[in-house]
Structure 1
Amino acid sequence: MIAKLEQGFGLRIHRRVKLRTVTGMQTSGGAMILKRYDGDVMRKRLEALSDALDSVLLAGVEVAPYLRTDAGLPYVADRGGLYTLQPWLRGRHLSMKSREERMAAAGALAALHRAPAGRTSSKSFYLRVPPLSEKYRHRLERAHLATLKSPELRESWRPFQERARQSVLQLQQASLERALDRDVRYGSLCHRDPAPHNFIWQEGGAALIDFDLAGYDVRAHDLYQLLNHALYLNGWEAGLFSEMVEAYERVFPLDADNRRILQALMHYPSLVIREWYDFGKSGNRDTLRVRLAWAQTQEEKRRLEVRV
């Protein structure tokens, strides 16, 4: 395996360290991250994603692209697996506890969206994602089914269920299709998992890593996910959302349709849905009441700013 990697990528591998989900490697080209992917479907996706990240890098955005083999492929195939190498970006993961880190994360996400990664790619089709409204409708349905297992808490669920239902109805309107069409034509690559552990803090700025879920989506959805992570980790505080949206728009302003989508998403009680959704999968009642009470409190605080 090592010999195949060295031959394919034209590097000497000096040392390797098994990490939680990846393998760190010290090579003649510097520190690298090795990942394995399974399934033949991933070939086209990795090729499309490699093209997109190359375009993002050329646009001046700090990301770790896939190294290419002498044959121009972003992977080495071996025994049913596809193996990729990416440069190791130095720094630490964001905590998003400070305003500076939250602003940097929003700016980094906007810089990613501003790079026209899919405009000239012939493979962008392989990075298209399902309709946004379907994802949130599905999560609402699964959460609702989970509440049937805990009748004593169902009464508190009803107002959140109605808010989520109204949000899904808004997402099914034409503004979603217009925004998606505009963002895809522009070529905005969305990260689709902008969690703190997928940002690296570098000398006052932030860089995105781990594009496994990336695709061509509505960029307001990426921003919404980032706002949710900030809410989940910090609790609500005055200006939490508006400051991050402003930091994003200083780099790449939202159009009117993306603004409508963001507004609809901000009424979707993701934290409460998440707790019920997770309970439905695990059946763990021990922490449900405490976690649900906290999520409900944060969602009510979110509404204070959304109304402004």
Structure 2
Amino acid sequence: MAKEDRKHWGKMVGSPVIRVQRLGSYRTIITENGKWMVKEIHSLDRSKWWINVDQEMRKRGYRWMPRIVSDHDRWILTHWIEGRKADYRNKRDAEDCIRMLALFHRLGQKLPVHWQGREADLFHQRLTRRLKKFHTVVMEREDVSGKAGEILKKYGPSLYVQGLHVLHQLEDVGLAKYTAAARAERKVAHRDLANHNWVVDKRSVPWLIDFETASYDCQLGDLWQFLARVMSENKWDVHFWYRLLKMYDAIHPLTKYEKEVLRLLFAFPNEFYREMIGVVTMKSGYKPEYTLPYIKQLVGTFPQWRHFLRTVAKW
């Protein structure tokens, strides 16, 4: 780290840097104006887009995102929110997060910020890509050893067929057209609602962080991703699911069409796909000692999941 960088960061936040710390592949800096995370800008177009979206969202009243400063060249600094990551098993956390997500979605529509540069894949395209990757893993299942191979051989083929069926249903109801319209209407979606992308502060208020994957896309994908993870952690408690949807709907009402799409999406076993692809391909962040117990947990809730699907089929 050059002394010039340290001095430059201090100038960006309006206070000299007291200390620099490592946090994985990133750095944090301590200043009189608080703690900040330092990241290099990999796409200037994307960085400019998000800074403008952030400013517009704050004008509209959404402020539960870390403050950001940028030199519009090499560095982007994000103010550090003190707190803990959200616990999706904690129903209070899930309820607070879904209210915040609904507000983020309600305010994040028809934004006057135009996207520049290469556009990211839309939601329906990402679903298709995920299924294709899982199909590759399933076709190589005989070469996968250990517990991962055992689980993949037992559940992989049938879950692949199920996912393919869901994609056909989504195609029939026009998901591609719906997601394209969401982009045209400049609806912002976070697109990575893992629990570690919420920070719950000391007042129990959830803050949404890490917008590296955000884009104009189908906001329903955010809601599904969030609910699928929460439901998996809560053994597919259908009563809790209804309560969470009611909370979201009170702030950002869903149309009849959106409810039908959401119902179909829950039959797409995305969590299992993602974790199994990660552990089999030895993807970074998917260490077997952590990922396999979670896959076993998912498999253990399959009976509750299938009961859930039968119940919401009447929704």
Calculate the TM-score normalised by the size of structure 1: 0.83
Three-state SS of the structure 1 residue aligned to 2:189 is coil
Deviation at 1:102, TM superposition (A): 0.5
Deviation at 1:8, TM superposition (A): 4.5
One-letter amino acid of the counterpart of residue 229, structure 1 = R
Deviation at 1:116, TM superposition (A): 3.3
Deviation at 1:289, TM superposition (A): 8.0
Corresponding residue for residue 204 of structure 2 = 204
Corresponding residue for residue 214 of structure 2 = 214
Asked if 1 retains the 8 angstrom alpha-carbon contact of 2:18 and 2:30, the reply is yes
Check 1:45–1:90 CA distance in 2 against 1; reply closer, same or farther (3 A cut).
same
Deviation at 1:13, TM superposition (A): 2.0
Aligned length: 294
The question of 1:100 aligning with 2:92 is answered yes
Structure 2, unmatched stretches of 5+, are 143-149
Deviates more, 1:229-238 or 1:267-276: 229-238
Check 1:208–1:291 CA distance in 2 against 1; reply closer, same or farther (3 A cut).
closer
Deviation at 1:2, TM superposition (A): 1.4
Corresponding residue for residue 244 of structure 1 = 244
Q: Distance in 2 between matches of 1:273 and 1:161?
A: 9
Corresponding residue for residue 225 of structure 1 = 225
Corresponding residue for residue 81 of structure 2 = 89
Asked if 2 retains the 8 angstrom alpha-carbon contact of 1:190 and 1:222, the reply is yes
Deviation at 1:118, TM superposition (A): 5.3
One-letter amino acid of the counterpart of residue 136, structure 1 = L
Check 1:294–1:9 CA distance in 2 against 1; reply closer, same or farther (3 A cut).
closer
Percent identity at matched positions? 18
Corresponding residue for residue 59 of structure 1 = 60
Q: Which of 132, 142, 145 is residue 136 of structure 2 equivalent to?
A: 145
Deviation at 1:305, TM superposition (A): 2.0
List per-residue Cα deviations over 1:190-249 (Å, max 9, x = no partner): 111111111111323311011111111111110111122223444333424322222221
Asked if 1 retains the 8 angstrom alpha-carbon contact of 2:36 and 2:78, the reply is yes
Structure 1, unmatched stretches of 5+, are 68-73
Q: Distance in 1 between matches of 2:291 and 2:38?
A: 37
Q: Distance in 2 between matches of 1:30 and 1:275?
A: 36
Q: Distance in 1 between matches of 2:310 and 2:224?
A: 16
The question of 1:13 aligning with 2:17 is answered yes
List per-residue Cα deviations over 1:118-137 (Å, max 9, x = no partner): 52113x24484313232222
Q: Report the aligned-residue RMSD.
A: 2.8
Spell out the pairing of 1:42-53 with structure 2 (5 A cutoff). 42-53=43-54
Asked if 2 retains the 8 angstrom alpha-carbon contact of 1:146 and 1:279, the reply is no
Calculate the TM-score normalised by the size of structure 2: 0.81
